[in-house]
Amino acid sequence: MEEITEVAPARPSQRISFRARRRVAQTGALLALVDVCLILAGFAVAYWMRYEVAWPAPFDRLVREVLARNFVPISAFVPFGLLLAGLLLAQFAMRGLYRLPRTAGVLDHASIITGSTTTGIAILIVVVFLYQPSEFYSRLIFAFAWGTIVILLVGWRALLIGIQRWRWVRGIGRERVLVVGNTGLGREVMESLVAQPDLGYAMVGYLDDREAVAGANQRTVHFRRLGRISDLEVCLRGGDIDLVIIALPFWEHHRLPDIVMACRIASVEFRVVPDLYELSFDRIDIGNLSGIPLIGLKEVSLRGWNLVVKRAMDLALVALAAPLVIPIALALAAVIRLDSPGPAIFRQRRIGRDGQPFVCYKFRTMVVDAEARKAELKALNEADGPLFKIRDDPRMTRIGRLLRRYSLDELPQLWNILRGEMSWVGPRPATGEEVAQYENWHYRRLTVVPGLTGLSQVLGRSDISFDEMVRLDIFYTENWSPGMDVRILLQTVPAVISGRGAY
C-alpha cells in the first residue's frame, strides 16, 4: 500500500461532487415523467371503462337513456387529468417516493402510491364539486381512476424492482462496498452483504488495524483485507468504491471525523453502523429536540394491556391444542418409559420473567444421570456463549433424538403456559448456569415471559450464535404484536418439520 501524502484542505463546495446528486436527480425526473404518463393512461382507461364500455352495465332502460344523454367527451376530462397528475407528483415528492433507498421493496412504494392517490382523488372530487360544470360527470370514473392508477404505478414499480434485483443477483450494477472495521460488528456487516446479493452490494474488502489470523478469526479470513484504517484515503483514490460502511466498535469512535472527512473529500457515500456498547440496533429509539437527535432505548412493548391480550391468546391456544396434545403426550410418555429406565418427565429449574425461577417440564430425552455427566463433556460443547449443546450428544436416548429433532420433548411445557410461567411465543427459558454467565446487555431478554417457540427457533434454532439469539429476543420484546406471535407460530410448523438446527 502506497504512503498517504498530505492533502490540501478543500473548501466545502469542492469536497462534495455533484455527480451523485445529478444522477439521482436525473433518475427521479425520469421516474416522474413515466409516472405522469401512467397517471394519464390510468385516467384514460377509467374514462374508457365508464363511458365507452359503460361498465357496469345499467340494469334499467331509463338509466341507459340518462347516461346516453349525459355522455361527456374525453376532452372535458383533460384538465382534470392534468390536475390529478400534478397533485399526485406533489404528493409523491412530499412523501419521499423518489427518495426511497435503493433496497426499498414493493410494499414501501405501494403504501406511498396508494395513500397519495387516495388523497389526490379526494382533492380532485372536491375541485369538481366546487367547479360545478354544466356537464354531468359520472362519479364512478373517479373510483375507476383510483384503481387503474394504483395498479399501473405499483405494477410499474414491481417490474422495475424485479428487474433491478434480477440484475443484482447476477452481479450487474451492484454498488462496490468497503467496510471499515473487522470486529464482531464489522463481521456481521460483511456476512450480511455477502449473504444477500439481492440488496445490490458487492464486497470489495475491509480495512482494519489488525491483520486477519486464520486460527483466531475463521469467519472473516475469506474477506479481503485492503490495509489499515489509515489507508482509507488511498483506497478511495482509485474511484472504484461506491459506498463506505463504517462499522467501528465504540472505543474507536474518536476516528469517525477523519474517516468521514476522507469520504467527503473523495465524494464517496458513507454509512455509519452504530455500536452502543454491543446494544441491539433494534433497541435504539431516535427523537429530536429542535433538530438535535436524541438517542435512547426502546421500551419493552409487552406491558399493560398488551400482557392481557397475550395471556388471553395463550389460554385460548392451550384450550384449542389440549384435545390433540394430551393423547400424543400420553403415548410419548409410555414410549419413553419403555425405551430407557427413568421418569418420562424431566423437571429443571429455569429462569423466567424478571429473573424469577420456575420449574420447566419436558419429556426426558437423555439418560437419567445426564446432568452429572455434563462436566466431563464440556470439551465437546459446540455452542458459543453460555449455551451448552452437542450435536451428537452421547447422553441422548434413542427416542430422545427423535423427540429433540421434532421438538416433541417440549409438549409438557403447555402446563407451564397454563400456569403463566411461560407463553407460546417468547425467548427460550434459560438455566441458572447460563444466566450467571450473561453480559449486562443479555439480561434484556429476561424482561418478558419465556416462550415455547420464538424468533430464534424459526430462524435457525441451534445454528445461530448466542449473541444473535439474544438480539432476536430483544427485537421481539420491543416490537411485540399479536400479528407477530401468529406469524412466529405459523413459521414454527415448517421449522419443526424440517428439523434444521435441532440438537
pTM of the full structure: 0.49
Strand partners, 345: 363
State the residue range of the domain holding 180: 174-275
* CATH code for position 263: 3.40.50.720
Share above pLDDT 90 across residues of the chain, in percent, rounded to a whole number = 17
- Kindly state whether residues 192 and 130 are assigned to the same domain: no
In a domain, 315, yes or no: yes
- Kindly state whether residues 130 and 188 are assigned to the same domain: no
Angstrom distance (rounded) from CA 256 to CA 268: 15
Task: Report the domain count for the chain.
Answer: 3
- Kindly state whether residues 237 and 267 are assigned to the same domain: yes
Higher pLDDT, 390 or 354: 354
In a domain, 159, yes or no: yes
Q: What is the DSSP string of 193-255?
A: HHH-GGG-EEEEEEE-SSPP-TTT-GGGTTSPEEE-GGGHHHHHHTS---EEEE---GGGGGG
The pLDDT of residue 216: 44
**With 80 as the cut, is the pLDDT of residue 93 above it?**
yes
- Kindly state whether residues 244 and 344 are assigned to the same domain: no
The pLDDT of residue 283: 52
In a domain, 4, yes or no: no
The pLDDT of residue 369: 78
**With 90 as the cut, is the pLDDT of residue 202 above it?**
no
At which residue does the C-alpha cell 446432568 appear? 371
Sequence-distant (≥ 6) Cβ neighbours of residue 319 within 8 angstroms: none
Domain boundary among 275, 296, 328: 275
- Kindly state whether residues 96 and 209 are assigned to the same domain: no
Q: What is the DSSP string of 363-414?
A: E--B-TTTTTTTGGGGGG----TT----TT-TTB-HHHHHHHHTTGGGTTHH
Q: What are phi and psi of 40, to 5 degrees?
A: -65, -40
Average model confidence (pLDDT) across the chain: 78
The pLDDT of residue 134: 47
Q: By C-alpha distance, which of 365, 367, 362 is closest to 345? A: 362
Q: What is the pLDDT of residues 435-452, one digit of tens each?
A: 888 887 788 888 889 999
- Are 424 and 313 contacting, i.e. CB atoms less than 8 angstroms apart? yes
- Kindly state whether residues 163 and 45 are assigned to the same domain: yes
Q: What is the pLDDT of residues 474-485, one digit of tens each?
A: 888 878 888 888
- Kindly state whether residues 271 and 352 are assigned to the same domain: no
Out of 44-58, 237-251, 294-308, 342-356, give the one with best mean pLDDT: 342-356
The pLDDT of residue 457: 81
- Kindly state whether residues 476 and 370 are assigned to the same domain: yes
Q: How many CB atoms lie within 10 A of CB 135?
A: 10
User: Comparing 1-10, 201-210, 393-402, which segment has the lowest mean pLDDT?
Assistant: 1-10
- Kindly state whether residues 116 and 179 are assigned to the same domain: no
Angstrom distance (rounded) from CA 180 to CA 231: 10
User: Comparing 49-63, 133-147, 276-290, 450-464, which segment has the lowest mean pLDDT?
Assistant: 276-290
In a domain, 283, yes or no: no
**With 80 as the cut, is the pLDDT of residue 325 above it?**
yes
In a domain, 445, yes or no: yes
The pLDDT of residue 152: 94
Mean pLDDT along residues 424-445: 86
Out of 36-40, 92-96, 229-233, give the one with best mean pLDDT: 36-40
User: Comparing 156-160, 271-275, 413-417, 497-501, which segment has the lowest mean pLDDT?
Assistant: 497-501
**With 50 as the cut, is the pLDDT of residue 229 above it?**
yes
Any alpha helices (H) in 48-105, and if so which ranges? 61-69, 78-94
**With 90 as the cut, is the pLDDT of residue 423 above it?**
yes
Residue type, 435: V
Domain boundary among 112, 144, 169: 169
- Kindly state whether residues 154 and 230 are assigned to the same domain: no
Nine-digit cell at 317? Answer: 391456544
User: Comparing 178-192, 265-279, 284-298, which segment has the lowest mean pLDDT?
Assistant: 284-298
Q: What is the pLDDT of residues 97-150, one digit of tens each?
A: 887 877 788 888 998 999 889 988 888 888 877 765 545 566 778 888 899 999
Nine-digit cell at 432? Answer: 441458572
Domain boundary among 257, 275, 293: 275
In a domain, 13, yes or no: no
**With 50 as the cut, is the pLDDT of residue 428 above it?**
yes
Residue type, 288: N
Q: Which residues of 431-462 are buried (b: 16+ CB within 10 A; e: fewer)?
A: beebbeebeebbebbbbbbbbbbbbbbbbbbb
- β pairing state of 451-453 and 423-425: parallel
The pLDDT of residue 290: 41
Mean pLDDT along residues 261-275: 81
- Kindly state whether residues 477 and 357 are assigned to the same domain: yes
Angstrom distance (rounded) from CA 426 to CA 351: 13
In a domain, 193, yes or no: yes
Which band of pLDDT confidence, cut at 50, 70 and 90, is reported for residue 278? very low
Mean pLDDT along residues 156-176: 87
Angstrom distance (rounded) from CA 175 to CA 178: 10
- Kindly state whether residues 373 and 468 are assigned to the same domain: yes
In a domain, 246, yes or no: yes
- Are 231 and 4 contacting, i.e. CB atoms less than 8 angstroms apart? yes
**CA-angle at 466, arms to 273 and 497, nearest 5°:** 115
Q: How far is CA 47 from CA 113, 119, 127, 137, 175, in A?
A: 21, 20, 18, 11, 43
Higher pLDDT, 117 or 219: 117
User: Comparing 16-25, 180-189, 237-246, which segment has the lowest mean pLDDT?
Assistant: 16-25
Q: What is the pLDDT of residues 280-289, one digit of tens each?
A: 444 555 554 4
The pLDDT of residue 455: 84
